[in-house]
Amino acid sequence: MEDLKKRENSWPRIIGAGPGSPQYFTLNLINSLARANKVFAAERILNVIRPYTKAELIKLEEDKQFYSMIKNIREEEGTYVLSTGDPMIAGLGPFFVNSLIEPGISSVQKCASLIHEPLTNSVILSTRYGKNYEKIKPVLELGLRVYLLPEPQLNIGTIMRKLATLIKPTSNVAICMNLTLHDQRTYSGTINEFTELKDNGLKIIFIRPPSL
Residue-wise pLDDT tens digits, 93-147: 999 999 999 999 999 999 999 999 999 999 999 999 899 999 999 999 999 999 9
pLDDT of residue 65: 86
What percent of the chain is predicted at pLDDT more than 90? 89
Dihedral sign (CA 131, 137, 159, 149): negative
Q: Which domains does the chain have, with CATH numbers?
A: 2-105 (3.40.1010.10), 109-207 (3.30.950.10)
CB atoms within 10 A of CB 199: 14
* Amino acid 74: pLDDT: 93
- Per-residue pLDDT at 179 exceeds 70: yes
Taking only the tens place, the pLDDT of each residue in 28-72 is 999 999 999 999 999 999 999 999 999 999 999 887 788 889 989
Residue 9 has pLDDT above 80, yes or no: no
Q: Which residues contact 93 (CB under 8 A, 6 or more apart)?
A: 14, 83, 86, 87, 101
Percent over 70 (pLDDT), the chain: 97
Query: Per-residue pLDDT tens for 23-40?
Result: 999 999 999 999 999 999
Position 180 scores a pLDDT of 96
Torsion angles phi and psi, residue 158, rounded to 5: -65, -40
Within 8 A by CB and 6+ apart from 73, the residues are 12, 40, 79, 81
pLDDT of amino acid 201: 96
